[in-house]
Amino acid sequence: MKIAIIGTGYVGLPSGVGFAELGNEVCCIDNNLQKIEKLQNGELTIYEDGLQELFERNLQNGHLRFTSSMREGVENADLIIIAVGTPPHPITKEADLQYIEAAAEELAQFLNKYTVVATKSTVPVGTGDKIEQIISRINSKAEVDVISLPEFLREGFAIHDFFAPDRIVVGTESIRARKLIAELYKDFTTTKILYVNRRSSETIKYASNAFLAVKLNYINELADFCEKAGADIDEVAAGMGADSRIGHKFLRAGPGFGGSCFPKDTNAMSFMAHQFGISMPLIDTTIAENEKRQLSMAERILSHTTTDSAQIAVLGLAFKNGTDDCRTSPAINIVKEMLKHNRNISVYDPKAMASAQTLLGNEVTYAENAYQAVEKADVVTILTEWNDFKLLNWEKIANLMNQRIVVDLRNILDEKILLQAGFKYYRIGKKM
């Protein structure tokens, strides 16, 4: 199948590589010329676990191409997938559709045979109708089905999620479009494919992410409860998760959720609800509590410093492990909050140093490795759940630091090792 993907970001690029690996002829389009040039030269523009090998293989065997020309990419395509960003409006927080609309206007000119146009970007309910109107305004003869094909790719696990999805949701009532998507996913014999109407599909995406955000807010709230109650959040989560109605996933307490999706999608959902004249207090509370939590985590770290000149080492800047993405990262928000208190902060992340630098500028010291970051520090805090931090030599770290205090906001380190090395070790959701 000939597939064009518009937008080569954290969603478009892994999807393009995945469809190429399945044997399709994929052309990825992006209006960022620098990105396209790099990708054409075999250089990846994002870090995503497992992407490199598949990217190189499919570039070499010709299944995968890159272009900045919409015409070159979409002409003769059977399927066009829109994966440009839908960032939140800075004030209203509604999803900004300008890139989606621009992509629809441009691609419409080049439709020359029956084509399915699928929206993979997360878009407000009703966006499919808008895209359909744009296409028919620009090219009234276009033979097209506009469908919703939401992505459920976790950053850091995007390749895994692409090849082993829990489900595939297809939003269209067109039989012809459903057939094309069934052909696309014909090798996914054990995966449930849900065919629903377009607005249901658009809603499923927001509903899923909002539900997971609520679940995280709940486990974080429970962590606070455990600290006061003398319970242990990891034990409580294990006990709750063993109930198959609850499940073990998404029960890791932490500094709050972040990333390019949960904060954006919960806000967009709340905005849509208000537009429909209803309110969703559960979602609104989740958004507000998550923001508050990150500030309180900054205070928690600061409370372990005894002087204003104390030095804090931050390990982890990405919003989660497995990615270099720092968009709406709790780690970045926490560092920014601590900077307001004029602390000396050194930072290290195995993959996200460059993207963190664009957000933190010159206000922190960038270390080349974790050992350099902790030199002379009074407190070290873990803000991203990278495995690398578990494997550090904590004896060595103890000797490099000024004071031996670890505030682990991801509960990933081994308590025994830390105590043996002479640390005071603070975690989330454990007896204080």
Chain residues 209-228 in contact with ligand UDX, contact rule CB under 6 A = 209, 212, 216
Q: Who contacts 34 (Cβ-Cβ below 8 Å, separation ≥6)?
A: none
Interface segment toward ligand UDX; rule CB under 6 A; list 139-147, 221-229, 253-261, 374-382: 253-261
Cβ distance to ligand UDX smaller for residue 252 or 343: 252
Q: Who contacts 191 (Cβ-Cβ below 8 Å, separation ≥6)?
A: 164, 165, 166, 167, 168, 185
86 binds ligand UDX (CB under 6 A): yes
Interface segment toward ligand UDX; rule CB under 6 A; list 174-182, 259-267, 273-281, 400-408: 259-267
Query: What phi and psi, each to the nearest 5 degrees, are found at residue 405?
Result: -130, 130
Q: Up-side HSE of residue 120: CA atoms within 13 Å toward CB? A: 25
Give just the sign of the alpha carbon dihedral 348, 352, 356, 357.
positive
Least distance to ligand UDX from the beta carbon of 36, Å?
9
Give the integer Cα–Cα distance in Å for 126 and 111.
22
261 is catalytic: yes
Task: Note whether 156 and 384 are within 8 A (CB).
Answer: no
Least distance to ligand UDX from the beta carbon of 157, Å?
7
Name the DSSP class of 105. Answer: H
Give the integer Cα–Cα distance in Å for 347 and 373.
6
Query: What phi and psi, each to the nearest 5 degrees, are found at residue 47?
Result: -100, 125
85 binds ligand UDX (CB under 6 A): yes
Give the integer Cα–Cα distance in Å for 31 and 102.
11
Q: Is 73 exposed, middle or buried (0-12, 13-18, 19+ CB in 10 A)?
A: buried
Least distance to ligand UDX from the beta carbon of 424, Å?
24
Of positions 3, 4, 5, 12, contacts ligand UDX by CB under 6 A: 12
73 binds ligand UDX (CB under 6 A): no
Query: Minimal CA–CA distance to 332: which of 322, 320, 319?
Result: 319
Give the integer Cα–Cα distance in Å for 368 and 18.
33
Number of residues this chain uses to bind ligand UDX (CB under 6 A): 39
236 binds ligand UDX (CB under 6 A): no
* Residue 34-63 contact track with ligand UDX, rule CB under 6 A, x = bound: -x----------------------------
Least distance to ligand UDX from the beta carbon of 171, Å?
15
Of positions 40, 93, 99, 185, contacts ligand UDX by CB under 6 A: 99
Least distance to ligand UDX from the beta carbon of 400, Å?
27
* Residues involved in catalysis: 261
- Where on the chain is the footprint of ligand UDX (CB under 6 A)? 6-12, 30-32, 35, 83-86, 99, 102-103, 121-122, 152-155, 209, 212, 216, 250-252, 254, 257-262, 319-320
